[in-house]
Chains A and B, each alone.
Chain A
Amino acid sequence: QVQLQESGPGLVRPSETLSLTCTVSGDSMNSSTFSWGWIRQPPGKGLEWIGNIFYGGNTQYNPSLKSRVSISVDMSKNQFSLRLSSVTAADTAVYYCTRLVMVLAARFDFWGQGTLVPVSS
């Protein structure tokens, strides 16, 4: 059973960079079948896709966040990371790391438990 676990600072100051890491256990990340990414959910609101990194290192980002987002992967540690720069209070959300299955029909089949990242001074 694949498990994903987010980690990172519990609070980020406005204008700084939010950095989160997702550790994947139970399977290797090194497969073209899967893509790895991030989805966020502001408190009491809906889900917003942030972006994904694909086998080979290609990335795809939500156009609304593209200028501030970077996703990278470290296969040797079975981890991938999110960086979101110039944050404001609007970036306060629960951040989920996810696995996206690419075969047959695209779907986010495994999710981390989520980590709440407040943006506040």
Chain B
Amino acid sequence: EIVLTQSPGTLSLSPGERATLSCRASQSVSGSFLAWYQQKPGQAPRLLIYGASRRATGIPDRFSGSGSGRDFTLTISRLEPEDFAVYYCQQYGSSLYTFGQGTKLEIK
């Protein structure tokens, strides 16, 4: 099983700042199978990025994804108030979909 480790666990930033979230895999992951989701309290997760770097429909261009192999990054270029939430990375490998434990992005 491929384990995804997200860092930091909590990120405290102010609106307008740049956020960089990390997702590291225990084994190499095909970029085609790496996705990022945003979850707000009481809501279902929302797909942001798939294929490591492709934005999902309707996602603002301040969200971008990058990386390959074992290391992937989600970047939010200029934080808006609605971006403060929990973010999960997710991969598919060895017939199993797994998620990272999440990074909470909170207002500083």
Contacts and interface: CB of A to CB of B under 8 A. Distances in A.
B95 A108 contact: no
Given A104-B51, A106-B33, A108-B90, A114 B56 contact: no
A24 B44 CA distance: 16
Interface string B39-53: 000011111001110
Interface string B47-70: 100111010110000000000000
Given A46-B88, A47-B45, A111-B45, A105 B96 contact: no
B101 interface: yes
Interface in A86-119: 96, 101, 104-109, 111-114
A4 to B, nearest CB: 9
B96 A49 contact: yes
A100 B107 CA distance: 32
Contacts of B15: none
Contact of A108 (B47, B98, B102): B47
A60 to B, nearest CB: 6
A108 B92 CA distance: 11
Contact of B44 (A49, A106, A113): A113
A113 B99 CA distance: 19
Interface of B: 31-33, 35, 37, 43-47, 50-52, 54, 56-57, 88, 90, 92, 95-102
A65 B63 CA distance: 34
A105 B95 contact: no
Contacts of B99: 46-49
Contacts of B44: 96, 111-114
Contact of B96 (A46, A63, A96, A104): A63
A33 B96 CA distance: 19
Interface in A23-60: 46-49, 60
Interface string A62-85: 110000000000000000000000
